[in-house]
Structure 1
Amino acid sequence: MADTGIPHFSNDLGLSVIEVGAHEFMCIGAKPPFDHPHIFIDLGSDPEAVCSYCSTLYRFNPALKHGTAKPEEALWVEKPAA
């Protein structure tokens, strides 16, 4: 997903800052079923932005591969239904 679409990030760890390797992404808050409405965030030329639902500060880190995060646990990938 990170290479082909908009990456989704979660903050189950309750961190104040998550570094991301993308300028456009979705914040989902906690992982489902405890997620908030999925918010599209576009950093544009800004280095950081705050999610209006969960107040997580997302900071762009150019050293990260596109669609990844620091910590890695912040990247959320939806699992296909069984």
Structure 2
Amino acid sequence: MAAKSVPHFHNDTGVDVINVGVHEFMCIGAKPPFDHPHVFLDMGDESEIICPYCSTLYRYKPTLAADESEPADCLWHAEAATAA
């Protein structure tokens, strides 16, 4: 069975809104080691959701792929955190 990856987003730069191409994702707040608990967010039928930890507003943008965000540097790659 293939695993479905859940994209993770962060708001290290402190932008007001992060546009994402998915309705279900994880918010980590800031990049590790300053991240908050990684919280799963599900917009359901809505087009926006606010993270209860960091108050980042996420907005669904259908023209973005699941692994894209605007600003682009708000997508977090776990392997990048472990690479030296």
TM-score normalised according to structure 2 size: 0.88
The residue that corresponds to 1:33 in the other structure is 33
Mark the runs of 5 or more structure 1 residues left unpaired by the alignment.
Answer: none
- Cα deviation, 1:38-60, whole Å, max 9, x if unaligned, reads 01000110000000000000000
The residue that corresponds to 1:11 in the other structure is 11
Deviation at 1:67, TM superposition (A): 2.5
Larger radius of gyration: 2
> Which 4+ residue blocks in structure 1 deviate beyond 2 angstroms?
none
- Cα deviation, 1:8-61, whole Å, max 9, x if unaligned, reads 000001011000001100000000000000010001100000000000000000
CA RMSD, aligned part only?
Answer: 1.2
TM-score normalised according to structure 1 size: 0.90
Q: How many residues align?
A: 79
Deviation at 1:81, TM superposition (A): 5.7
Matched position secondary structure for 1:58: strand
